[in-house]
Structure 1
Amino acid sequence: MIGLAIMAIFWFMAPIEPITPVGMKVVGAFLGMVYLWSAVGSLWPSLLGLTLIALSGYGGQGAVGFKAVFLNAFGADTVLLTLFAMVLFGAMDEAGCTKYIARWLLTRKIINGRPYAFMGVVWFTCYVISTLVSPITGLILMWPITLRIMDTLKIERGDKIWPFFFVGMFAVMTLGQPFFPFMGAQLIVVSAYGSMTGVPADLTPVPYVSYMALNFIMTMLLMVTYIIILKFILRPDVNKLKGVDADQLAREQPLPPMVWPQKTMMIMIPLYLIMLLVPSFLDKSNPVVNLLATLGPLGVTIVWIIFFCIIRYQGKEVLNFKEVSYKQFNWGIFFMIAAAVYGANALSNDATGVKDFLLNALNPILGGQSEMGFVAIMFTVALILTNFANNAAMAVVLMPVVLAFCDQMGLNPMPVAMGVTMMVFVAMLTPAASPHAGMMHGRTDIYKTGEILRLGFPICLVTLVYYIFIGYPLAKMLF
């Protein structure tokens, strides 16, 4: 009812200069969607928001304008990429590839008798799984494994190392979630940025290598910092972890030998990335490079799906599109991407007057700030909002503000925008922060709310400081 009320109020309210009458309806639809995404769900609020934007006349008058909104929203390559990427990478999870990745990493002999090496390997494993599939998959896979290890080592719930280990594990997962800019909720933000800045359809919204490098460097830096603080400052008792034995873990986590379809899917990951990145480095006069540039992320993803659908193992398709999509496809994310990207583009359009309104309203707060002051405020706001609402939605809401004030201050908006993108995934302090945060808070057998807040708040604060003083300068170099 609150979400519907937000939409209705803006629909009938007199325009607030310089927002236009159409702009008021678009703002109401978008803010209503943002609220409902956090409080209710993603699917029907997205459809309702797009319906109201279509009825506002933003896409044109009458039935033609109404259809244009939905055709443009769902016909965007971002939405199609989301559909096919979820199936392609979901097939990896269905084939059990993530289990083999986890077992391989957790059975490295470097962990023998080295508690902090063991924790680092576990957390890095969580990071890898989170980037390839999702933090939810990472938790579902890693909770049973790590709990079994703790039980074997006789580490009890009351031992001091317990909360440090499990909260740290979750933190690394949530930091790693936005690693790939062409899949998951982060695609919503990256695509919204590209749409608002007018990036041509044949170009990627952000340089993929720079984006992934920023996430990887900052996550690893934060993980190492956490380990250093544990080892040299907090110094919890880790003697029981010295009993970790890679060979024993290998025996306790038996998996059958990998078959060739699983090996092919594992090889696909680096080949997929190479196919996406090659056009950025090599001359497009080369026919192969030109073909890859023409295909883009959407085409490359479809080609791999075709390949895995064609090849067969034991008389069955390696990738059964229907079965994989039934288990792995997230309709909420799909509809949310369509609505969020289209709605964000509408907000930034001059026809709505929203950009000018934001400049006038926020200029007293942000207008007189230095570059670092502006960055600090935006990153802090992103961190606070994301712990109470939908991650991607909060970033999309902040994107017009970032772009407007970067333009006013003469700053390159990409480093600020990508910093905000990373910050909105530092979501762990409340159950509403993200679906996987809700899972974490719900596992009272592993986490106590007090422990999550006691450790999570400093982790979030250190992450904020790192991104302001290290991440942002690094992003300026990378972008």
Structure 2
Amino acid sequence: MLLFKYIPPIGVVTKMGMEVLGIYLGLLLLWSTVDVIWPSFLGLILLGFSGYSTVPQLITTGFGNVTNIYIMLIFMFAYFVTKSGVSNILVNSIISLKFARSRPWVISFLFLFAAYFVGALVSMTPACVIVWTIFTKFAAEIGYKKSDAYTSYMIVGIALSGLMGFVVFPFRLPSTLIIGMAEQAGYTVPFLSYVIIAFCIGFGTVILYLLLGRFVFRPNVENLKKEYSFGELNGMTRYQKQIMFLVVLLIALLIVQSTMGTTFIGSILTQLGTTGIVLVILMIMAFLKRSDGSPFADLVDAARNGVSWSVYFMLTICLQIATALSDSELGIGALISSFLEPILGTGNGGKIAFILLMTFLTILFTNFMGNNPVAIIFYSIAITYCGKSNVPTALMVSVIGICANASIVFPSANPIAAIMHGMKDWVNAKDIYKYSVPLSIAVWVSASVFCLLLGGKLF
């Protein structure tokens, strides 16, 4: 981290470029093995002393960046959705459908879809934890036990379904991080186009995994033909209906802002921006009172308990270092391009190879390192090479953000993976690797196929 500036420059990389690269690699190591917050502060200070910028400038642009504020507000909004209990009701409603009874692979699909659906509407953590809880209760009731092939298969599948659902909208990490960087660089990622490609990749992966289970892994599913009752489902309270309405409203406003910017309402939403839209929703929630006179939403509570401050602090340096890495004067982008040129070639062959390679490497490295750093690394490469390979930059930014969240193999890759590895009563590490590695390949196949088939039409 500190000694890189003393290493002779590699190729076209400048001395300052070597120093910035050293800071970046040091941050990746510390983020993956030690902590998030203090290494981020250290990286900001070191970058300020590198000559690239100054510490006061980095603090101003880091903490005041609109992307950071947007992510903080989204965390606060998601906190109210989770706290209200809406996600529990949604999951129980999905997996208790009568047409699925005694049909093993329909039941399996509904569990995976439940995790995907709640991950999309709320967050990946409640999606996975809630569906895991309901599934293990269900599995025990019908006679499954620890390390049975079917339970291990489903626990891994639920994890990735929640992760894929989480990134179906572009205001979720790591997608929102690199989309923000792309927009700062002058590119536009259409909201609806992102949602379509993210849905196709995520849902395509779920279907591929079910096919792998049905025809390749072939776990024993006879127990699923037994009768099981989920009990009576309680309807939503008035408060929960109001929260659900706000979730739908937020998504609708973001779609209108992205696709109907020339209309009267669209122009107002464009002036607000995505951050302003969330801010208005939270303002309304804070203004309203519940029927008993209590606050509809306590923003202080949400800021205290809903915001992942470690992520926020990491973003203060992430945006700065990514900008530095892509600075043409430092030569890092040119070096990456020179390495990729012989591999990827040019023309259509280069385009296909570029998409296959970028999706594969993103999925590979995100299983060893944090999602956000991996997204930043391959975002930097995409910005450099998309034009040469005739791939829309907005498409590649979207797909990188989606693939960077497919981290389920090792416990260090993602909090969801860590929780899954800790479920010792139901699954062991050997079985997690048995199912998660092929599932990661399924993500790669799905991402590559839909990128090639739909990318040119959507972006």
TM-score by length of 2: 0.93
User: Could you tell me which residue of structure 2 aligns to residue 62 of structure 1?
Assistant: none
Change (3 A) 1:282 1:419: closer
1:414 and 2:402 are equivalent in the alignment: no
Which residue pairs with 2:354 in the alignment? Answer: 374
1:78 is matched with which residue? 67
Change (3 A) 1:344 1:388: same
Distance 1:127 1:299, change over 3 A: same
- More displaced stretch, 32-41 vs 297-306: 32-41
1:424 equivalenced with 2:404 (yes/no): yes
CA drift at 1:271: 1.1
Render the CA deviation track for 1:42-78: whole Å, top value 9, x for unaligned.
Answer: 211112111111222323xxxxx43121111221111
Residue of structure 1 in register with 2:444 after alignment = 464
SS in 2 for 1:308: helix
- The gaps in structure 1 that reach 5 residues or longer are 1-6, 60-64, 200-204
What is the distance in 2 between the residues matched to 1:392 and 1:232? 34
Letter in structure 2 aligned against 1:129:
V
Q: Structure 1 residues 32 and 458 mapped into 2: Cα distance closer, same or farther (>3 Å)?
A: same
Identify the match of residue 181 of structure 2 among 180, 192, 200: 192
Amino acid at match of 2:165: G
The separation in 2 between residues aligned to 1:206 and 1:312, in whole angstroms, is: 37
Whether the 8 Å contact between 1:111 and 1:117 is mirrored in structure 2 is yes
**2:295 aligns with one of 281, 303, 317:** 317
Deviation at 1:187, TM superposition (A): 1.6
2:231 is equivalent to residue 250 of structure 1: yes
Please tell me the residue identity of whatever aligns with 1:443. Answer: M
Per the TM alignment, residue 15 of structure 1 is displaced from its structure 2 partner at its CA by 4.0
State how 1:127-166 maps to structure 2 within 5 Å. 127-157=116-146, 159-166=148-155
Does 2:35 correspond to 1:55?
Answer: no
CA distance in 2, matches of 1:217, 1:468: 11
**1:278 equivalenced with 2:266 (yes/no):** no
Q: Check whether the contact 2:145–2:426 (CA below 8 A) recurs between aligned residues.
A: no
Q: 1:158 to 1:358 in 2, by over 3 A?
A: closer
Q: 1: CA distance between counterparts of 2:261 and 2:362?
A: 39
User: Does 2:231 correspond to 1:231?
Assistant: no
CA displacement at 1:316 relative to structure 2:
1.5
Q: Which residue of 2 aligns with 1:392?
A: 372
Aligned to 2:338: 360
Q: 2:112 aligns with which of 117, 120, 123?
A: 123
Which position in structure 2 is the counterpart of 1:240? 223
Q: What's the counterpart of residue 210 of structure 1?
A: 193
Paired position in structure 1 for 2:27: 33
Residue 283 to residue 379, structure 1, CA distance change in 2 (3 Å): closer
Q: Which runs of 5+ in 2 are unaligned?
A: none
Aligned to 1:3: none
**Structure 1 residues 34 and 233, CA gap change in structure 2 (3 angstroms):** closer
Taking the aligned partners of 1:92 and 1:462, their CA distance within structure 2 comes to 31
1:202 matched residue in structure 2: none
Counterpart contact for 1:419–1:475, Cα < 8 Å: no
**Cα separation, 1, equivalents of 2:450 and 2:196:** 13
* Structure 2 contact 208–442 (Cα < 8 Å) conserved: no
Give secondary structure in 1 for the equivalent of 2:330. Answer: coil
Q: Bigger CA drift: 354-363 or 377-386? A: 354-363
Which secondary structure does the structure 1 equivalent of 2:368 belong to?
coil
Single out whichever of 153-162 and 443-452 deviates more from structure 2.
153-162
CA distance in 1, matches of 2:11, 2:98: 66
Give how far 1:219 is off.
Answer: 1.8
Rounded Cα–Cα distance in structure 2 between residues aligned with 1:376 and 1:387:
17
Query: When the two structures are superposed, what TM-score results if normalisation uses the length of structure 1?
Result: 0.89
Q: Does the aligned pair in 2 maintain the 1:103–1:250 contact within 8 Å?
A: no
Give distance in 2, aligned partners of 1:52 and 1:165.
45
Aligned 8 A contact 1:416 1:472 in 2: no
Moved more, 267-276 or 173-182: 173-182
Inter-partner Cα distance in structure 2 for 1:79 and 1:456: 32
- CA displacement at 1:226 relative to structure 2: 2.5
Task: Name the structure 1 match of 2:328.
Answer: 350
Q: Name the CA distance, whole Å, in 2 between partners of 1:106 and 1:466.
A: 25
The whole-number CA distance in structure 1 between the counterparts of 2:17 and 2:144 is: 58
Which of 416, 435, 438 aligns to 1:455? It is 435
Distance 1:158 1:413, change over 3 A: closer
Deviation at 1:363, TM superposition (A): 3.0
Q: State how many pairs are aligned.
A: 456
- Conservation of the 8 A alpha-carbon contact between 1:185 and 1:333: no
3-state SS of 2:3 partner: helix
What one-letter code is carried by the residue in structure 2 that aligns with 1:165? M
Q: Is the 8 A contact 1:192 1:340 kept in 2?
A: no
Q: 1:43 aligns with which of 17, 27, 37?
A: 37
Against the structure 1 CA distance between its residues 436 and 159, is the aligned structure 2 distance closer, same or farther, given a 3 Å change threshold? closer
Paired residue type of 1:268: L
Q: Which 10-residue stretch deviates more, 126-135 or 379-388?
A: 126-135
* Aligned partners of 2:174 and 2:405 also within 8 Å: no
Superposition deviation, residue 83 in structure 1: 0.8
Structure 1 pair 302/8, CA: closer, same or farther in 2 (3 Å)?
Answer: same
Q: Contact between 2:132 and 2:158, CA under 8 Å: does it hold in 1?
A: no
* Residues 22-31 or 384-393, more deviating: 22-31
Larger deviation, residues 68-77 vs 362-371: 362-371
Q: Distance in 1 between matches of 2:173 and 2:115?
A: 17
**Contact (CA 8 Å) 2:78, 2:122: kept in 1 or not?**
yes
1:308 to 285, 298, 323: 285
Report if the CA contact (8 A) 2:198-2:399 is conserved. Answer: no
Instruction: Tell me if structure 2 keeps the 8 A contact 1:14–1:21.
Output: yes
| C-alpha deviation, 1:269, in angstroms | 1.5
- In 2: Cα distance, 1:122 partner to 1:476 partner: 33
What code does the residue aligned with 2:409 have?
A: L
Offset at residue 102 of structure 1 (A): 1.4
